[in-house]
Amino acid sequence: MEQRLRLVQGGQPRSEKRTAERRAVSVTGQIVWKDARGNTKLASVVTRDVSEHGVAVQCLNGAAIPLYRLVYFQVDREARYRTELPVALRKPNVLSAIFRVGADNQATGAPSDYALRLLVEPARTAQPVAQQPLTA
């Protein structure tokens, strides 16, 4: 049995799979997590873009954060109520997961870019409840 691979042409547009719009917003904040030994770590970050379910940040300092690590992300208090921020990021902190780690910064030896998935409840729309006939 012969298998054939089909190459995808680079010039074709990719379909957008995002469920929420990504907006370029630059605000300062922190990522707080516990390392493998249980010690609390903190990294100062600046957001690059945000959406309802995620945020891309540039790390200004701090130790490397492992992929899929659960962290708390918080926007600095004075920037928390900006209208371009999603509602979830206006809270004091948001449980998130590191889901992409960028290349290492040559000066610090730790990655400089991270993408976080915000672990928030999806917005629910009210669905009318259909009346079912009663059967005996």
Q: What is the pLDDT of residues 9-66, one digit of tens each?
A: 555 555 566 677 899 999 999 999 999 999 999 999 999 999 999 999 999 887 899 9
Give the phi and the psi of residue 115 in degrees, each rounded to 5: -120, 130
In 3D space, the residue among 114, 115, 116, 117 whose CA is nearest the CA of residue 61 turns out to be 114
Sign of CA dihedral 64, 68, 71, 77: positive
In 3D space, the residue among 19, 116, 25, 133 whose CA is nearest the CA of residue 79 turns out to be 25
Is the pLDDT confidence value at 8 over 80? no
Is the pLDDT confidence value at 113 over 60? yes
Residue whose entry in the numeric block shows the structure tokens 């006939």: 133
How far apart, in whole angstroms, are the C-alpha atoms of residue 106 and residue 100?
18
Give pLDDT, residue 4.
Answer: 54
pLDDT in tens, 60-101: 887 899 999 999 999 999 999 999 999 999 999 999 999 999
Give pLDDT, residue 89.
Answer: 94
Give pLDDT, residue 129.
Answer: 59
CATH code linked to domain 23-118? 2.40.10.220
Give pLDDT, residue 11.
Answer: 54
Give pLDDT, residue 20.
Answer: 78
Give pLDDT, residue 10.
Answer: 53
**pTM for the whole thing?**
0.76
